Amino acid sequence: MLDITRIDPLTAEHRLERSVATVLRTIDAVQAERQTPPVRAARQRLGQVYCLSRLARAKERLPLR
């Protein structure tokens, strides 16, 4: 069983550095994936659809003249 009170500070620091490095690699991979053409195009299309739906809802709320 691991005794938390007896962990060497250097070991804890090393584990933290590895954990941070893993997170940074994951973030980098996700950002790279977002920039691939199919994903980028899909994200742009979703953004356009969202914008158009917001405009349509705003238009519906305008009073009729």
Task: List the chain domain ranges.
Answer: 29-65
Radius of gyration of the chain (CA): 24
- What was the pLDDT predicted at 3? 60
pLDDT digits (tens, 9 = 90+) for 20-41: 999 999 999 999 988 888 888 9
Structure tokens at 53: 């739906």
What would the 3-class secondary structure string for 36-47 be? CHHHHHHHHHHH
Task: Specify the pTM.
Answer: 0.50
